[in-house]
Amino acid sequence: MKKLIAGNWKMNGSLESNAALVKALLSHSDDWTCDVALCVPAPYLSQLQNLSKASPLMFGAQDVSTHDSGAFTGEVSAGMLKDFECRYAIVGHSERRQLHLESDALVAAKAQKALASGITPVVCVGETLHEREAGLTEEVVKRQLAAVIHLNGHCISEIVLAYEPVWAIGTGKTATPEQAQHVHAVLRAQLRAASAHADRVQIVYGGSMNAANAAQLLAQPDIDGGLVGGASLKAADFLSIIAAAH
Ligand code: 13P
């Protein structure tokens, strides 16, 4: 299947630096053979909508509300994201699970809201270092995915799934290709049990993916792309990862 390389800018960027970065990326877009997307802070969605026009670059948000409208200060609804032609919305990133105490059930509800608006949720799952060391990796990621399957039923084949071991995020410690492949295969099996169309779900890896380690990770049979943090902020690095995804 076609691979997906998605950048997660997290809370980084400015009008000026975004324009320069996207321009540098698009100057190589004729060479892209995979899906390429950028998940940007909400205030920059309009900028991305303009910059990506008539190009293969897709873009999305980093979160979505479970509510449609109303008294939810600071929240952004799926309908608002749709207004800006967002293709993707990350849900359940570990930074939100940890810093904003998002539960499995809330993440599942966010995925449901995105799907209902025609936005592809990029559902993040992953274990902490403590959980890995306690031998709980499979249990944790399966529990996180089960909540999303439970609420979304057969629509589950419409998601993108991201395996992001928390201990590998922003630490420079990457999961080995074997460690990542093992978890991806577990997730694939869980998706297959839930949907006849599970094999069309892109399961992407995130956690210190960079120009040097991308090719080996992306060569694994169940690694269908990457969710890239730090390296997505540098055009040369992100382009190297895109080039490794064929
Ligand atoms: P890093 O690539 O900076 O480790 O971040 C990964 C991530 O959290 C992507 O969502």
Structural domains in the chain, sorted by start: 4-244 (3.20.20.70)
The model's confidence at residue 81, banded by pLDDT at 50, 70 and 90, is very high
**Mean pLDDT of the region 198-208:** 97
Q: Alpha-carbon distance 75 to 210, whole Å?
A: 31
* Ligand 1 centroid to residue 101 C-alpha, Å: 19
pLDDT value of position 236: 98
* pLDDT tens profile 5-30: 999 999 999 999 999 999 999 999 99
Question: Given 95, 127, 158, 164, which residue is catalytic?
Answer: 164
Tell me: pLDDT of 227 over 90: yes
Up-side HSE of residue 229: CA atoms within 13 Å toward CB? Answer: 19
* Ligand 1 centroid to residue 70 C-alpha, Å: 32
pLDDT value of position 154: 84
Which of 38, 228, 237 has most ligand 1 atoms within 8 Å of its beta carbon, as the pocket-test mutant? 228
Concerning whether 164 is annotated as a catalytic residue, the answer is yes
Tell me: pLDDT of 246 over 90: no
Q: Alpha-carbon distance 197 to 178, whole Å?
A: 25
Pocket (CB within 6 angstroms of ligand 1): 8, 93, 164, 169-170, 206-209, 227-231
State how far Cα 5 lies from the chain centre: 9
Concerning whether 133 is annotated as a catalytic residue, the answer is no
Tell me: pLDDT of 156 over 90: yes
The residue contributing the CA closest to ligand 1 atom 7 is 229
Contact 237, 210 (CB under 8 A): yes
- Whether the predicted model's global pTM rises above the 0.75 cut: yes
The residue contributing the CA closest to ligand 1 atom 1 is 229
pLDDT value of position 109: 98
Share of the chain above pLDDT 70, in %: 100
pLDDT value of position 208: 95
* pLDDT tens profile 84-128: 999 999 999 999 999 999 999 999 999 999 999 999 999 999 999
Tell me: pLDDT of 242 over 90: yes
For residue 8, which of 80, 95, 66, 115 has the smallest C-alpha distance? 95
Q: Token digits for 57?
A: 């670059």
pLDDT value of position 172: 87
